[in-house]
Chain A
């Protein structure tokens, strides 16, 4: 019998389940479930664009209107300095990382609760749920990036070689959003009213972060502004997309890296600590 058996089951992974055991091969498990991660992202993207009549154009309308309003308020009314860049482009270049961050944070925060059906009925490393939410935000991001390119052509301000560093800043944006999203998604499972914190954070954040204005012209406020991890990131995006016309200031970027690392490390720690109870309390 045993010879036959080995034929049928060439490899038989052994699993031991015990209290507090889940940690052992955590990252290998996440890797093993990468296909499910892909499927969940694909599902969310599909559903997002399936029912909406406006489809992808929805992702364009929002940044277009925001850009127009911010240009009017900050550029015309407040007469903020533009440093020689067409003001709409300045705003859009800041709005792109902001939208990526907002979409990713919002998606990741609600992701575990939104998938409670799965969480209470099937096993998988829970981390892939907030991870898959990042993918959806990335799709919207690509669309808005397209909008930026069209606008840049229109204003005759086409990005040059500086864009090469863009992937680094995109990655950094996703990491900040993930760090916050991990905290908020596990807190939301435990205390439902954390759901209401996210819209508030985003509402305030769009003004606190330098989306509608540039910071390199206010050296006095540099340190305060740099306490927001998005300041360094948004500056970085402007550097990449606006031909380096915004100088890259290493202080905010350093702060960004540090804050991101802290947020992400504690986020992963807290998420892993609570995820084993998700099925019991969700």
Chain B
């Protein structure tokens, strides 16, 4: 067995956050230094310096040809890890040993310039990603064909549609030939067809050419498809490494729901006139709901405080346990006042009965949002409620689980009612 191509040992990265220290200019800096000295003289202390370990003692190794997924919640240290591996930032302690040329793709179209043409941007972006001039020339036609932009190759990319732009940017990246490819969340953009094409290309490359790929994504289906191994990061530490399915299972169980109250998961955008004060599903306020039988409709009841006149309704996404959306339950454009309600400031009770599609036994997540459909999102509960379906009469269907097939359908809810319960 050859030596691993990536060896990471005891890797840590510390950021120092100095409170009271947003000095981006010289005057602030001098002012701050003066105050710090004064404090030290007067109180014997400076400002509080908070250390933040984005990565803490991470060790792993990757063999040649492996495609390894890196998963974890936001802020778990995934991006920091990739930044260190791609040499953008230095580790604080620890060591990484890389054997081979590394190309990193932390963003699609890094260095693209809107005023340059497609042709010029291919050269520029290729050079930025580490291709040689000869290599770019050799692959030029292939890149253009892959991106499907032949007709517009001499048009400045500022006139491209966003789809074309992303396709071109990704096409350049897909034709990189490093021994180690580091990819961040870049597949989140672009249309589904093209995403598929890129995943296909990455898979083909790693299988036939023995390339090593490190892949960060929130698209768990893509990780599942592409990677045999995965690393799970939790608040900067490597909490699990092993088979992708096991890692994903741990990721989910470590996850969103805590057995607490669903209402605590609310995310209210700043300035929103709507705030939820109470949320129950089938009369249960917890964020873990057991559904004995998925054929029974869910009763979702919210109490809402409204501080400005809005049109209000409720959207429910049914997601698989990794947070991939399966079905949307929404009144849609229905604006006749049966499910979307024009309300004035006050306290309201909004209730919906949602009949779910027949579900396989297992865990699902509900993603709730108070919205004006297609117009505004007032407050959300992102993947806030775990739904455990105990029995559904469908137990043969494990074959569909994790198949990575995007499923999407819309369920029209029964009438969503709004009832004014109090004035503000």
Contact = CB atoms under 8 A, between A and B. Distances in A.
Contacts, number: 115
B88 A17 contact: no
Contact of A193 (B26, B127, B132): B26
A22 B113 CA distance: 29
B41 to A, nearest CB: 25
Contacts of B91: 17-19
Nearest to B1: A1
Interface stretch (A7-15, A62-70, A232-240): A7-15
Given A15-B102, A35-B132, A36-B127, A43 B113 contact: yes
A184 B102 CA distance: 31
B87 A117 contact: no
Contacts of A15: 87, 96-99, 102
B353 interface: no
B95 interface: yes
Given A15-B98, A117-B111, A122-B88, A5 B116 contact: no
A245 interface: no
Contact of B123 (A13, A16, A39, A192): A39
A18 B94 CA distance: 6
Contacts of B128: 36, 39, 118, 122, 124
Contacts of B179: 9, 12
Contacts of B85: 17
A121 interface: yes
B115 A5 contact: no
A123 interface: yes
Contacts of A119: 88
B97 to A, nearest CB: 5
A13 B95 CA distance: 16
Interface string A182-206: 0000000001111000000000000
A187 to B, nearest CB: 9
A164 interface: no
A1 B3 CA distance: 12
B152 to A, nearest CB: 17
Nearest to A39: B127
Interface residues of B, number: 48
B24 A192 contact: yes
Interface in B225-245: none
Interface string B214-257: 00000000000000000000000000000000000000000000
B120 interface: yes
Nearest to B98: A15
Contacts of B95: 16-18
A8 B64 CA distance: 12
Given A5-B64, A122-B104, A191 B113 contact: no
B110 A117 contact: yes
Given A122-B88, A279-B88, A17 B98 contact: yes
Interface in B91-125: 91-102, 104, 106-107, 110-111, 113, 115-116, 120, 123-124
A193 B27 contact: yes
B83 interface: yes
B61 interface: no
A198 B74 CA distance: 40
B326 interface: no
Interface in A13-31: 13-22
22 contacts: A1-B2, A9-B100, A13-B101, A15-B102, A16-B98, A17-B90, A17-B98, A18-B90, A19-B91, A21-B90, A35-B132, A35-B133, A122-B106, A122-B110, A122-B129, A123-B86, A191-B24, A192-B24, A276-B89, A276-B90, A279-B83, A280-B15
Interface of A: 1-2, 5, 8-9, 12-22, 35-36, 38-39, 42-43, 46-47, 50-51, 117-124, 191-194, 276, 279-280
Interface of B: 2, 15, 23-27, 29, 64, 83-102, 104, 106-107, 110-111, 113, 115-116, 120, 123-124, 127-129, 132-133, 179, 209-210
Given A17-B85, A121-B107, 17 more contacts: A8-B210, A12-B100, A14-B97, A16-B98, A17-B90, A17-B95, A17-B97, A43-B113, A47-B115, A47-B116, A117-B110, A121-B88, A122-B86, A124-B128, A191-B23, A191-B25, A280-B89
